[in-house]
Amino acid sequence: MWGLLRQKVGAGSSSALSMQRIRPVVSALRNYSSAAKEMTVREALNSALDEEMSADPKVFLMGEEVGEYQGAYKISKGLLDKYGPERVLDTPITEAGFTGIGVGAAYYGLKPVIEFMTFNFSMQAIDHIINSAAKSNYMSAGQISVPIVFRGPNGAAAGVGAQHSQCYAAWYASCPGLKVLAPYSSEDSRGLLKAAIRDPDPVVFLENELLYGESFSVSAEALDSSFCLPIGKAKIEREGKDVTITAFSKMVGYALKAAEILEKEGISAEVINLRSIRPLDRSTINASVRKTNRLVTVEEGFPQHGVGAEICASVVEDSFGYLDAPVERITGADVPMPYAANLERMAVPQVEDIVRAAKRACYRAVPVAATA
């Protein structure tokens, strides 16, 4: 990294600029194959990092065990051998230290990708993320850009206790100056990570440990090195007409399973993969609610001041007259995550919780208040 700083790449190298000019032309000439490919989320993230580091010499990766160990979750596998220790930097266990170094490098014009072994550990570095990265562009009247990505696993894994299981989507999405992304599939992971690295502003990139080994079909277009998904745009994973279900990260899979169960009972559910938590795609959510007239929000985080609460507020403000039932919010329990497996399952949303909520919204079940 210090070698990159000495090259004064803040002003932009001619080779990097040439490459940026060439890439769209190469992309336009390439013919896509119609065949899709199966790819794990881990492979998708690894390939996105590899391609962006190859395309832009200002991009570098820094964090604990990202180099010699090839990443705690093997996301950075092979990158040290390919790009060397100046661009794949192993750090001590000091999130406050290496995050601050990353923010400083971004001030200078480099594009750091900071890996947290879990986003729970980002609390050690939250001053750098919030007070330095998020606010500097505004406080400098636009003179300072901070092109940095903070990435790593977020939310509950399995049996790791209260201090390693929190969802930080609502935490970081409440802060102006940050963009917050939460991919679900391999295509999400490739396209959104590329978008995050190319973005001129700080991006919090929330992955999920339990999704790393999951395989998804990836289109030929998404396999192209120029592929990039827009930040701030949700994806309708499944169309429906009776109830809208919003979710992000691992909960998208749960919502899709719930929709399959609901279909067997005559309820057509529309499932929206938020992808972007900040900015939030309010127009897609409201358009769906105006069609289905019902809304269920799903997230792993705590209920108070959560992502679902913000979505509910948006719908009430913009589409209240279209609602035929109260909004249903499915969240994690309002307690620190239990360690015991049976209690842990009760503390995070399950597919059956989503099914019950959708039925309540469609008046196919006895309301919760009536059974209390």
Instruction: Please list the active-site residues.
Output: 95, 164
- Cβ-based burial of 333 (10 A; exposed 0-12, middle 13-18, buried ≥19): middle
Q: What separation in angstroms does the CA of 172 have from each of 71, 154, 198, 326?
A: 24, 12, 20, 27
The residues near 290 (Cβ < 8 Å, ≥ 6 apart) are: 319, 322
| CA 297/CA 307 separation, integer angstroms | 8
Residues 277, 338: Cα–Cα separation, whole Å: 26
In this structure, is the dihedral angle defined by the CA atoms of residues 293, 299, 302 and 305, taken in order, positive or negative? negative
Region of 332 (left: φ > 0; alpha: ψ -120 to 50; beta: rest) is: beta
Q: Distance of CA 362 to CAs 69, 263, 264, Å?
A: 51, 13, 14
C-alpha distances out from residue 169 to 155, 178, 272, 293, 305, Å? 9, 11, 17, 26, 11
| Euclidean distance between CA atoms 293 and 289, whole angstroms | 5
Residue 269 near residue 245 (C-beta atoms within 8 A) = yes
